[in-house]
Amino acid sequence: MARVMVLHGPNLNLLGTREPEIYGAETLEDVNAALTALGAELGVEVECRQSNDEGELVSAIQAAGKSCDYLIANLAAYTHTSIALMDAIKAVAIPTIEVHISNTHAREEYRHKSYIAPVVEGRIEGLGTHGYLLALRHAARKIAAKGGKR
């Protein structure tokens, strides 16, 4: 079975309570349950991880490179600061979709730059948590088109 890892970066464990006017009312558990259910429908095993620690996220990306067919990454604030995460994605060469719940370009200027954008297949932002589901549908379609191989 094809495998997709979904990485949630810092503070996404606070979904549902953190700035609901920006991030909505869904919790991280809600998002992960929706991803797992959709994955089952699409014939894709979904592994969800969250960390507030940059090093743990780097390790998770490296692990995904060995065991997963796709990576969906919302690296949150690290998107705008972390060359280490960009290097990890580039090093493992796993197809990656960058997801953001909010439209980063409609927010503070420091959120406009994504260090990982140059090394990802595509970006989905500003569509709320639905962006994760769109990313998973895309990943499943691409995996199927390649006969289940990267």
- Whether 78 is covered by a domain: the verdict is yes
Within 10 angstroms of residue 123's Cβ, the number of other Cβ atoms is: 18
Nearest-angstrom CA–CA distance, 138 and 124: 11
pLDDT tens readout for residues 52-85: 999 999 999 999 999 999 999 999 999 999 999 9
Active-site residue, selected from the candidate residues 23, 70, 78, 115: 23
What is the extent of the structural domain holding 95? Answer: 2-145
Active-site residue, selected from the candidate residues 8, 70, 100, 132: 100
pLDDT tens readout for residues 76-110: 999 999 999 999 999 999 999 999 998 787 667 86
- Whether 150 is covered by a domain: the verdict is no
Handedness of CA 33, 80, 61, 119 (dihedral sign): positive
CATH number at residue 48: 3.40.50.9100
How many structural domains is the chain composed of?
1
Question: How many degrees, rounded to 5, is the angle at CA 144 between CA 96 and CA 93?
Answer: 25
Q: What is the model's pTM? A: 0.93
Instruction: Assess whether 105 carries a catalytic annotation.
Output: no
- Whether 86 is covered by a domain: the verdict is yes
| Runs of H (alpha helix) within 8-147 | 20-23, 28-42, 54-67, 83-92, 130-145
- Whether 11 is covered by a domain: the verdict is yes
Instruction: Assess whether 100 carries a catalytic annotation.
Output: yes
